[in-house]
Amino acid sequence: GEAKYITITKYDKDFRSKQLIKDAIMDNDFLKNLDSSQVREMVDSMYSKEFAAGSLVVREGDAGVHLFVSAEGDFEVIKDGNVLGHMGPGKAFGELAILYNCTRTASIRAVTNSKVWMLDRKVFQQIMMRTGLQRLQDN
């Protein structure tokens, strides 16, 4: 079908937050090969959300709508009811359903009152697409 462009909203952040998001993206096996311009756009387009202790940030089996970076707090990765591990701040997660168009492979639960950075799937896809087109023009 016809390409639908959306307006990408940028959200101001302090230097430390930008650095945390950038480092988290570069540390993720599935995201580390993005162009620096793509990473910068993702950093600028993420917005924050707080989660109360005990609440689910991501539910296993759901469709993926956001990519996340943990900012504050402690998070559990849960699959089939088993806790697979813990994450602190500075981890990118929720990338699998966004990149591979699958359902969420695990749940992520906020263990403490927590804060995450979020990016909408449509924004992620547009950042990927636009830079891909730019690359074709540059060749």
Give the binding site for ligand CMP (CB under 6 A): 58, 64, 77, 84-85, 93-97, 104-106, 108
Q: Which H helix or E strand runs over 100? A: helix 95-100
Question: Could you please report the per-residue DSSP string of 49-88?
Answer: EEE-TT-EEE-TTSBP-EEEEEEES-EEEEETTEEEEEE-
CB of 30 to ligand CMP, least distance (A): 8
Query: Of 18 and 121, which has the nearer Cβ to ligand CMP?
Result: 121
Please, are residues 74 and 86 in contact by the beta-carbon 8 Å criterion?
yes
- In terms of CB distance, is 22 or 121 closer to ligand CMP? 121
Q: Which is nearer to ligand CMP, 37 or 55 (CB)?
A: 55
